Chains A and B, each alone.
Chain A
Amino acid sequence: MEFSELIRTGRAQAELLRGPGAPPLRGTLCVTGHHLLLSPGPQATSDLWLLLLRSVDSIEKRVAGDSGTITLRCKDLRVLQLDIEGVEATLDIARSIEALSSLESVITSFPFFYRPKGLRLGDAWHFHPPEHHYKRVARETNAWRLSEVNEDFSVCPSYPRAVIVPRAVDDDALARSARFRQGGRFPVLSYHHAPSGTVLLRSSQPLTGPQKRRCAEDEELLRAVLAGARPGARGFIVDTRSAQAAKQARMTGGGTEAKAAYPGWKRLHRPMERGRPLQESFVRLVEACGDLEQSMDRWLSRLEGCRWLAHVKEALSTACLAAQGMEREGACILVHGAEGTDSTLLVTSLAQLILDPLSRTMTGFQELVEREWIQAGHPFQLRCAHSAFSHARPKHEAPTFLLFLDCVWQLGRQFPLSLEFGEGLLLALFEHAYASPFGTFLCNSEKERCLCEVRTRTHSLWSGLNQPKEQRKLRNPLYVLNPLAIWPSVEPQSLRLWQGLFLRWTRPPEPSEAAWEKVWQIVTDKEKTEGSQPTVSASEPQP
């Protein structure tokens, strides 16, 4: 295999330090095509230690005397230290890790080789197809249809094969509307809110350009959306850029919907941070979280300076705005920014969590992530190429998906009984989005995934997560179905730093883990005692 060229030294003696709480590990270090292994001596009690090379974000080497030290900073924010015997071995191993962890080819990545026991290839890949979502919509309303205009990805390369569109609009009109939208992302249905009969749509910006071009089919499409909802329905276009930025986008061919061209629709601008500033915010927060010695003042000023929680607040309040428009105003909402693959998805997915009790269940949430992020064409490969430790200049990296997970965590904190999943699932999604043995988060779009045959040649994360043994980690033991919308508070006093993620490796987890264990115990006790009650009454003989 071609990896062997990159591996300079097969093995070396090393000691691994895993931070506070975990004891150091000694043994033979070994670099393989996809992993770093540490196998303790035969008499050692601990198991083989394994690290996916893909999850290494940055590597730092130091040599002194006849040994060396490698510091690995991982994409899941872990920091590991390897003390290796021999200078040459250290340098060789460092070089091997560097080369192997930054391989760009998708089809040689680990998911294509990963064959875990107990899982069948191809399982769970068909868990959440667009057809499935359409079935639900069709039960609730007749105004929408499933279009296969994008069957061969020629209309929009970042959309899935099938999308849900107004019944009144034919495929030709869709294709023409697509040409008027950046990247071909014409308005499609994201969520139908049955209680108010309104819909949530997403798209990219219209290509009005400096000449303020128009597109009759695009206008017709949005008109059909209002007509399909109910007579006299209004619509709001939530633009995730500032009015100024939207206007400036015209100079580069983009722009916004002109008011006159879209009767019944009104534009609202909610500027949200994206791209590099968001990535920098993430980097600065992680930096601040790594400093255990800083004074209280310094910590608070860094927490403020990184602006991460301000982004959380922006995202949540924009989502609330969209959700409120649907629930309260009975209006249809179209969300877009520029490309429609980042902040747009953040808003549409959060709005659904707020409004839709089904999306707050275990399967519903997985479906939401699959539908609104993976199939909707969030470019995971570009956005999650590096995490917060990389020294490389960020090109396309941005922690938009992490910001989404953080917002979900905030919702879960404010409504601790209303989400069926717990922090464990959110942490797992964060890890897997950045580096995973599963194929779910590979590539940037459905089209690329098809080309790479991801579905047939890798395992789905969902089948991995939904194994019974994983459930206790991922579920919220206190969940009770809540049929209402959950409106979070977005005041700064109500938002918290997500310690479970950002401080996961720097604080001792024992007390809170023990507490959750106790909660689980109480819940299972409850199930047991309730279960045993009928047994007692069953033992009563009938008089």
Chain B
Amino acid sequence: MEHIRTTKVEQVKLLDRFSTSNKALTGTLYLTATHLLFIDSHQKETWILHHHIASVEKLALTTSGCPLVIQCKNFRIVHFIVPRERDCHDIYNSLLQLSKQAKYEDLYAFSYNPKQNDSERLRGWQLIDLAEEYKRMGVPNSNWQLSDANREYKICETYPRELYVPRIASKPIIVGSSKFRSKGRFPVLSYYHREKEAAVCRCSQPLSGFSARCLEDEHLLQAISKANPVNRYMYVMDTRPKHRMQSWWATQKDIGRIIVRISSKIWNDEKIRESHEQKRLNAMANRAAGKGYENEDNYSNIRFQFVGIENIHVMRSSLQKLLEVNGTKGLSVNDFYSGLESSGWLRHIKAVMDAAIFLTKAIMIENASVLVHCSDGWDRTSQVCSLGSLLLDSFYRTIRGFMVLIEKDWISFGHKFSERCGHLDSDPKEVSPVFTQFLECVWHLTEQFPQAFEFNEAFLLQIHEHIYSCQFGNFLGNCQKEREELKLKEKTYSLWPFLLDDQKKYLNPLYSPKSQAVAVLEPNTVSFNFKFWRNMYHQFDRTLHPRQSVFSIIMNMNEQNKQLENDIKDLESKIKQHKNKQTDGVLTKELLHSVRPESPTLKTSLCFKEQTLLPVNDALRTIEGSNPADNRYSEYAEEFSKSEPAVVSLEYGVARMTC
């Protein structure tokens, strides 16, 4: 609270981001310990969580006051005009402080209190049980077992305590392999396909020098391929683009790392000894470029596959470019598409999707196990493993299954949420929208397969909201060890039970789980299947969205149908009972009362009420009645009052005609 100097400012204007006229709402701005609150003259409230604030900017003073632009991580952009510069300055400073916390303990989750007792809180945390999930997949079994090697986080700090490895891989092998892998992230099971008996495994890049070879790592890979009784072939997917590997090799003086290599066996030792350091470098660069894989013959059970997903820095600047383009006032169609193209965003999304499809095909068509890695194995690897599992297993397309998937491949395997989302005031170069990309891929799948998912778009948006909100403990910290040290389960609440309580809002009314056609999803990644996700990146720009929601009306109909069917069943059974009791079949008044007094059709007079897309509590997101003033062409209205353009001189006109 010591950061707050001004708690209330009156006569503040809120500008419409897309309006070229300076149309504004006037209201009062309040600053609380957790939120910035704006209440306009219609008593409509706009709540902005401090943790959602990505940047605050004070623009040059104008005649009407001091402009304050706030950009949020959930893509909300608000533009206030504060009448007095002093107030603006105070708020600006407070927000700078409040939006960037130095300690975890200062985050909202540690003070958020949803009025639950401790046992409710604990039950909330126990809702998603990963041991249960591995059991569902079918492990442990004769080929896979639970390893206790990392029980005390001794081998790998960023992995969870419980890891599943091939049964024939002994502890020394695991320990040896972990020393050979960046950050100790050795190959472990991510998903087991029960029917195909094939596994999706994940790890980080190998750390070998050229002369070194790691027998244990080789053994572990052998073990993984042997754990697949059908196909001894296995794929090693490096999710990084080849060209980056090449330049990386060219610049790397200390040849400490190898990208694709599983073991030094790939290399012909004799040749290495003979060759010069420089020659080796070139050879590796070639190898990285996909040339000179002569040794695939020797290692017939391993195939390498590069899939070009760019690194976190490329992704961060890509999103930045995208947002810049979209924030432009009076954007033309052509600028929009050329901006979309030059940002590269959809190209990156397609790359992630293509990688997941490759993984799925390896398992479904070739019945092969797949080992996925990138550099550290917590960004691109998480994207590919989780998306691949989602394509393979319809369980992950349910509400609860999706939570499990996020818990498994993202939270437990150490995707660095706090760093990637910038929860604390830390290195901005670590921030990257890796998880957002995953959600967008899932959204594209829901668009291509409208009946395959139990949840709807609002569910994805809500999860996105909370990875940044720091309101719940799930996404705080960078790995399980850190979360345990923070005692999150005792001090904060889990998001999942709250989402489950609200599950009605997140249901997809068209979901048909039994449809065989969608057992394994085979998305089509032709370029034109990728669209700009307006509901994510413009979720708060209500004028851009459809004014009516098909989803909610179908949802309502579905619910009515169920209700009515239940009523009918109810009544029928009562009639039966009564017939049994009284042979005359005279019904009592009680039966009449059981008919719902109000007709369900009256409950949903949806006709003109505009629907909200997002089931949220704050009022601002409600999409309002359609109004021409909401739209940009309303500015043409100014033309109605403008005087006619000056007449172009006739000579000029003639000159134009003749030339």
Q: Which residues of chain A have a CB within 8 Å of any CB of chain B? A: 236, 243-244, 247-248, 251, 259, 266-268, 289, 292, 294-301, 303-304, 307, 309-310, 312-313, 317, 320-321, 323-325, 327-329, 331, 413-418, 478, 480-497, 499, 503, 506-508, 510-512, 514-515, 518-519, 522-523, 525-526, 529-530, 532-533, 536-537, 539-541, 543
Q: Is the CB of A247 within 8 A of B631?
A: no
Q: Is the CB of B337 within 8 A of A303?
A: yes
Q: Which residues of chain B have a CB within 8 Å of any CB of chain A? A: 18, 326, 331-338, 340-341, 344, 346-347, 350, 448-452, 509-510, 512, 515, 517, 524, 526-532, 534, 538, 543-550, 553-554, 557-558, 560-561, 564-565, 567-568, 571-572, 575, 585-589, 591-592, 595, 600-601, 606-608, 625-628, 630-634, 636-637, 639-640, 644-645, 648, 653-654, 656-657
In this complex, the member of B587, B595, B628 whose beta carbon has the largest number of chain A beta carbons within 10 angstroms is B628
Residue of B nearest to A321 (CB): B636
Residue of B nearest to A531 (CB): B564
Q: Is the CB of A417 within 8 A of B553?
A: yes
Q: Which of A248, A301, A492 contacts B331 (CB 8 A)?
A: A492
Known interface pairs A327-B628, A494-B545; 17 further A-B residue pairs with C-beta atoms within 8 A, sorted by A's residue number: A243-B648, A297-B341, A300-B341, A312-B333, A328-B637, A414-B547, A483-B608, A491-B544, A492-B336, A493-B336, A493-B544, A496-B531, A511-B452, A514-B517, A522-B558, A523-B557, A533-B568
Q: Is the CB of A266 within 8 A of B334?
A: no
Residue of A nearest to B543 (CB): A489
Of the A-B pairs whose beta carbons lie under 8 Å apart in the complex, a sample of 24, sorted by A's number, is A243-B645, A248-B657, A296-B530, A304-B341, A321-B636, A321-B639, A416-B550, A417-B553, A484-B626, A487-B627, A487-B631, A490-B632, A492-B333, A494-B544, A494-B545, A497-B528, A507-B529, A511-B449, A519-B550, A526-B560, A530-B601, A536-B572, A541-B585, A543-B587
Contacts of A480 in B (CB 8 A): 606-607
Q: How far is the CA of A522 from the CA of B565 in the complex (A)?
A: 13
Q: How far is the CA of A507 from the CA of B631 in the complex (A)?
A: 33
Q: How far is the CA of A539 from the CA of B572 in the complex (A)?
A: 10
Q: How far is the CA of A439 from the CA of B27 in the complex (A)?
A: 61
Q: How far is the CA of A266 from the CA of B589 in the complex (A)?
A: 71
Q: Is the CB of A540 within 8 A of B606?
A: no
Q: How far is the CA of A518 from the CA of B558 in the complex (A)?
A: 11
Q: How far is the CA of A501 from the CA of B639 in the complex (A)?
A: 35
Q: Which of A307, A478, A483 contacts B334 (CB 8 A)?
A: A307
CB distance from A339 to the nearest CB of B (A): 20
Residue of A nearest to B653 (CB): A247
Contacts of B564 in A (CB 8 A): 529-530, 532-533
Q: Is the CB of A490 within 8 A of B587?
A: no
Q: Which of B451, B531, B601, B631 contacts A490 (CB 8 A)?
A: B631
Q: Is the CB of A324 within 8 A of B657?
A: no
Q: Which of B347, B448, B527, B630 contacts A511 (CB 8 A)?
A: B448
CB distance from A540 to the nearest CB of B (A): 6
Contacts of A304 in B (CB 8 A): 333-334, 337-338, 341
Q: Which of A294, A310, A478, A488 contacts B332 (CB 8 A)?
A: A310
Q: Is the CB of A529 within 8 A of B527?
A: no
Q: How far is the CA of A85 from the CA of B524 in the complex (A)?
A: 34
List the 8 closest A-B pairs by CB distance, nearest first: A304-B337, A492-B336, A299-B527, A300-B341, A529-B564, A515-B450, A310-B333, A296-B347
Contacts of B335 in A (CB 8 A): 492
CB distance from B437 to the nearest CB of A (A): 14
In this complex, the member of A304, A485, A499 whose beta carbon has the largest number of chain B beta carbons within 10 angstroms is A304
Q: Is the CB of B548 within 8 A of A416?
A: yes
Q: Is the CB of B546 within 8 A of A296?
A: no
Q: Which of A300, A484, A515 contacts B337 (CB 8 A)?
A: A300
Q: How far is the CA of A25 from the CA of B575 in the complex (A)?
A: 57
Q: How far is the CA of A121 from the CA of B627 in the complex (A)?
A: 45
Q: Is the CB of B510 within 8 A of A417?
A: no
In this complex, the member of A331, A417, A480 whose beta carbon has the largest number of chain B beta carbons within 10 angstroms is A417
CB distance from A490 to the nearest CB of B (A): 6
CB distance from A495 to the nearest CB of B (A): 7
Residue of B nearest to A314 (CB): B333
CB distance from A277 to the nearest CB of B (A): 14
Query: A292 and B526 in contact (CB under 8 A), knowing A244-B648, A494-B534, A515-B450?
Result: yes
Query: A532 and B546 in contact (CB under 8 A), knowing A259-B644, A484-B608?
Result: no
Q: Is the CB of A415 within 8 A of B548?
A: yes
Q: Is the CB of A536 within 8 A of B571?
A: yes
Q: Which of B510, B547, B567, B648 contacts A247 (CB 8 A)?
A: B648
CB distance from B5 to the nearest CB of A (A): 38
Q: Is the CB of B648 within 8 A of A329?
A: no
Q: Is the CB of A317 within 8 A of B633?
A: yes
Contacts of A497 in B (CB 8 A): 528
Q: Which of A267, A299, A483, A519 contacts B644 (CB 8 A)?
A: A267
Q: Is the CB of A417 within 8 A of B548?
A: yes
CB distance from B467 to the nearest CB of A (A): 23
Q: Is the CB of B333 within 8 A of A515?
A: no
Q: How far is the CA of A328 from the CA of B631 in the complex (A)?
A: 14
Q: Is the CB of A526 within 8 A of B557?
A: yes
Q: How far is the CA of A495 from the CA of B449 in the complex (A)?
A: 22
Query: A301 and B526 in contact (CB under 8 A), knowing A480-B607, A515-B450?
Result: no
Q: Is the CB of A541 within 8 A of B547?
A: no
Q: How far is the CA of A540 from the CA of B590 in the complex (A)?
A: 12
Q: How far is the CA of A487 from the CA of B634 in the complex (A)?
A: 10
In this complex, the member of A294, A481, A515 whose beta carbon has the largest number of chain B beta carbons within 10 angstroms is A515
Q: Is the CB of A491 within 8 A of B346?
A: no
Contacts of A416 in B (CB 8 A): 546, 548-550
Contacts of B587 in A (CB 8 A): 540-541, 543
Q: Is the CB of B644 within 8 A of A266?
A: yes
Q: Is the CB of B450 within 8 A of A511?
A: yes
Residue of A nearest to B563 (CB): A529
Q: Is the CB of A248 within 8 A of B557?
A: no
Q: Is the CB of B633 within 8 A of A321?
A: yes
Residue of A nearest to B338 (CB): A304
Q: Is the CB of A248 within 8 A of B526?
A: no
Residue of A nearest to B626 (CB): A487
Residue of A nearest to B452 (CB): A511
Q: Is the CB of A491 within 8 A of B331?
A: yes
Contacts of B346 in A (CB 8 A): 296, 300
Contacts of B627 in A (CB 8 A): 487
CB distance from B19 to the nearest CB of A (A): 11
Contacts of B637 in A (CB 8 A): 321, 324, 328-329
Q: How far is the CA of A313 from the CA of B564 in the complex (A)?
A: 44
Contacts of A485 in B (CB 8 A): 626, 628
Q: Is the CB of B633 within 8 A of A324?
A: yes
Q: How far is the CA of A17 from the CA of B186 in the complex (A)?
A: 51
Q: Is the CB of A489 within 8 A of B545?
A: yes
Residue of B nearest to A247 (CB): B653
Q: Which of A299, A301, A413, A489 contacts B338 (CB 8 A)?
A: A301
Contacts of A236 in B (CB 8 A): 640
In this complex, the member of B340, B606, B625 whose beta carbon has the largest number of chain A beta carbons within 10 angstroms is B340
Q: How far is the CA of A537 from the CA of B346 in the complex (A)?
A: 56
Residue of B nearest to A508 (CB): B524
Q: Is the CB of A522 within 8 A of B557?
A: yes
Q: Is the CB of A320 within 8 A of B628?
A: yes
Q: How far is the CA of A94 from the CA of B218 in the complex (A)?
A: 63
Contacts of A518 in B (CB 8 A): 451, 510, 512
Q: How far is the CA of A236 from the CA of B567 in the complex (A)?
A: 58
Contacts of A413 in B (CB 8 A): 546
Query: A417 and B550 in contact (CB under 8 A), knowing A480-B607, A493-B532?
Result: yes
Q: How far is the CA of A218 from the CA of B438 in the complex (A)?
A: 63
Q: Which of B544, B586, B607, B648 contacts A489 (CB 8 A)?
A: B544
Q: Which of B534, B561, B589, B595 contacts A529 (CB 8 A)?
A: B561
Contacts of A483 in B (CB 8 A): 608
Contacts of B572 in A (CB 8 A): 536
Q: Is the CB of A526 within 8 A of B561?
A: yes
Query: A493 and B586 in contact (CB under 8 A), knowing A300-B337, A413-B546?
Result: no
Contacts of A307 in B (CB 8 A): 333-334
Residue of B nearest to A518 (CB): B510
